[in-house]
Amino acid sequence: MLKKDQNDLLTQTGPATPGGRLFRSYWLPALLAEELPANDCPPVRVKILSERLIAFRDSAGRLGLMDEFCAHRGVSLWFGRNEEGGLRCPYHGWKYDHTGQCIEVPSEPVESGFCGKIKLKSYPLIERGGVLWTYMGPPEKQPPLPEWEFATVPAAQSFMSKRIQECNWLQAMEGGIDSSHVSFLHRGELNTDPLFRGARGNQYNMRDARPVFEVVESAGGLNIGVRRNAEDGHYYWRITQWVMPSFTMIPPRGDHAIHGHFWIPIDDETCWTWSYDYHPTRALSAEERAAMRAGKGVHVTYVPGTFRPLANKDNDYLIDRAAQKAGRTYSGVGGIAMQDASLQESMGPVVDRTKENLVSTDNGIIMARHRLLRATKALMEKDATPPGVDLAHQRVRSAAVVLPADQPFMEAAKDAMIAREGTAHASV
C-alpha cells in the first residue's frame, strides 16, 4: 500500500504538481488526427493535465494547441471562426495564429502594436501514426518525436481509438499491468472475442489461475513477466512492457495484433484511455478493423457524438446478471475494455491506496509505483530526465512465449522484446 502523501504525489498531475511535471516531460497523445480532418475545420476542445485548451488546423494545415480562452474577456475559443490563417473570437474579433500569437484586434490601430503584446499559452502539436501529439514541458527540454512501433508502421497495419475513463489515470494504468485478472474477468471473452480467440495461449490462461510474477526493471520502465504452467516442464510466459509514465503493451495472442494503451490524465479524476492495435508485418484485415470499430478487443462503442463509452456508470455498464450467472461473461459486463473500466471506476475517482492488501501477483504494480516515485523525486530534486523519454526506451515489444522451466525469461526472450522493422512478433 501507499502512504497518503505518496498516493497524492502519483495521482495529482495539474500544472503546479510534481506528477504534472513528470507527465510534461513526454510527448503525449492529445487528439486523433481525424478530429481535425481538414484545413479551417471547426476547433476542438482538449482537456489534458487539468488544462483547458483548444486545438485547430489553420488554412495552411498548421496545427495549433493553445489556451481555450480569449485573452480579451475570457470567451471560449471553441466558438471561434477558423479562417484565413487563424482562429478569431466571435465576440470582438480578436484573432490568434497557430502559435497562440494575437494577430488582429479590430478595435485597435495597427500602428499601436497592441497585438504583439498578446499571446496565449500554447504547445506544439504534431501528427504521427494517426495521432496528434503534444509536448507541454519546457521548450528547451523538448524530446525527439515519439517512435512507438504502432505509430511508425504503415497506416494499414495500425488502429487507434480513445475513450474517456471516469477515474484517475493511475488506477486505470495499474489495471493494464495486472495480468492475473485475465483468468477470471476476461475468461468468457478469450475464446469468443474475434481479436483474441483461437490462440493456443488462451488455454494456458484458462487452465492456470495462479500465475507467478517476475518483474525486471528495463531502461524505460518494467518488463513484467507472468508465467503459467504449460506442458512437459515448460512455462507459458506473457511479458508486458510498461514504459513510463503510462504506456503499456500487452502480449499478443496467436497471429492477432499487438495491443496496448496510454493513460493520459484529463484531470485528477478522469483520464483518456488510448487503445492501439497494430501488426508489425501485415495489414490489419477488414474484419479486424470492423471488430475494432465495433468495440471488440481493447476498444469500445460510444455514446453517439462523444468519446464516452456507451456502457458507463450512469447505466450500470449495461450489466447482464443473467449472462453473469450463466457464465457467458464473468462479471456480467460485456466487452474486455469495459470489464476493466467498470471495475476500475467502481473504486471511486481516486482509490485510497492506504487501505489496500497487496499480494505477490501485485508485484508489477508495486514496482511501477516505486519507479514513478523515484523518477518524480529525481526530476524535482536533480532535474533528471525521467525514463521513457529516450527513443530507445520506446522501441520495445511485448511477447508471449513457451520456455523450458529452467530458462529465465529475460535471457531467453530478450530478442523478442525489441521492436525490429519487418520482424514478426513472438506469440503463442
Q: What is the pLDDT of residues 318-373, one digit of tens each?
A: 999 999 999 889 999 999 999 999 999 999 999 999 999 999 889 999 999 999 99
What confidence category does residue 302 fall into, taking pLDDT thresholds of 50, 70 and 90?
very high
d(CA 17, CA 232) in angstroms, rounded, equals 52
Predicted local confidence at residue 1, as pLDDT: 79
Strands 125-128 and 131-135: antiparallel
Predicted local confidence at residue 93, as pLDDT: 97
d(CA 427, CA 400) in angstroms, rounded, equals 5
pLDDT for 80 beyond 90: yes
pLDDT for 181 beyond 90: no
- Paired strand residues for 32: 131
Please state, for a pLDDT cut of 70, what percent of the chain lies above it.
Answer: 100
Crossing angle of helices 169-176/4-11, nearest 10°? 90
C-alpha cell recorded at residue 197: 480467440
What confidence category does residue 178 fall into, taking pLDDT thresholds of 50, 70 and 90?
confident
Lowest mean pLDDT among 92-101, 204-213, 302-311: 204-213
Give the residue-averaged pLDDT of 96-113.
96
Predicted local confidence at residue 182, as pLDDT: 80
What confidence category does residue 179 fall into, taking pLDDT thresholds of 50, 70 and 90?
confident
- With contact defined as beta carbons under 8 Å apart, do 293 and 284 qualify? no
- With contact defined as beta carbons under 8 Å apart, do 267 and 14 qualify? yes
Give the residue-averaged pLDDT of 404-418.
96
Predicted local confidence at residue 154, as pLDDT: 97
Beta-carbon count within 10 A of 30 CB: 27
pLDDT in tens, 261-270: 999 999 999 9
What confidence category does residue 187 fall into, taking pLDDT thresholds of 50, 70 and 90?
confident
What residue type is 250 in one-letter code? Answer: I
pLDDT for 298 beyond 90: yes
Q: Write phi, then psi, for 386 (nearest 5 degrees).
A: -75, 160
Exposed/middle/buried for 292, CB within 10 Å: 0-12, 13-18, 19+?
Answer: buried
Write the DSSP assignment of 165-207 as a string of letters. Answer: ESS-HHHHHHHHT-GGGHHHHTTTTTTTSTTTTT-THHHHHHH
Predicted local confidence at residue 87, as pLDDT: 98
Give the residue-averaged pLDDT of 193-207.
92
pTM, 2 dp? 0.95
Predicted local confidence at residue 84, as pLDDT: 97
pLDDT in tens, 239-287: 999 999 999 999 999 999 999 999 999 999 999 999 999 999 999 999 9
pLDDT in tens, 25-61: 999 999 999 999 999 999 999 999 999 999 999 999 9
